[in-house]
Amino acid sequence: MLLIACPWCGERDELEFHYGGQAHVAYPADPEGLSDAEWGEYLFVRDNTKGPFAERWSHAAGCRRWFNVVRHTVTHQILAVPSDRPTAAGRPKPVTA
């Protein structure tokens, strides 16, 4: 069972969260210019890192907000979470591997 620190609510157990896969996957800037292969890549291919991995979690049974986490996919140790609690006006700092 993972203990995940929601940047808004604090540490909660894994059951309260929904997993969102790899972080920092941007929607294509020019969707109409994409080839079939590029669309396939965007839709279906994600990093599958063995080691530190930046990924998204949603606090589904809590504040329902999304945030990024860096987790080691072998040890499951959570290596980084957003460092600053965001204000109403701002978003948490992005976390990268």
Q: 45 or 84, CB closer to other proteins? A: 45
Distance CA 46, CA 87 (A): 31
35: its two tokens: 């080839």
Please tell me the distance from the alpha carbon of residue 30 to that of residue 21, in angstroms, as a whole number.
Answer: 23
Q: Least distance in Å: CB of 60 to other proteins?
A: 11
Residue with Cβ nearer other proteins (21 or 94): 21
The contacts of residue 39 (CB under 8 Å, 6+ apart) are 28
Distance, CA of 73 to chain centre: 13
Provide the binding-site residues for other proteins, judged by CB under 8 A. 1-2, 14-15, 18-19, 21, 36-37, 39-41, 43-46, 48-50, 53, 55, 71, 73-76
CB of 89 to other proteins, least distance (A): 31
Q: Least distance from C-beta 15 to other proteins, angstroms?
A: 6
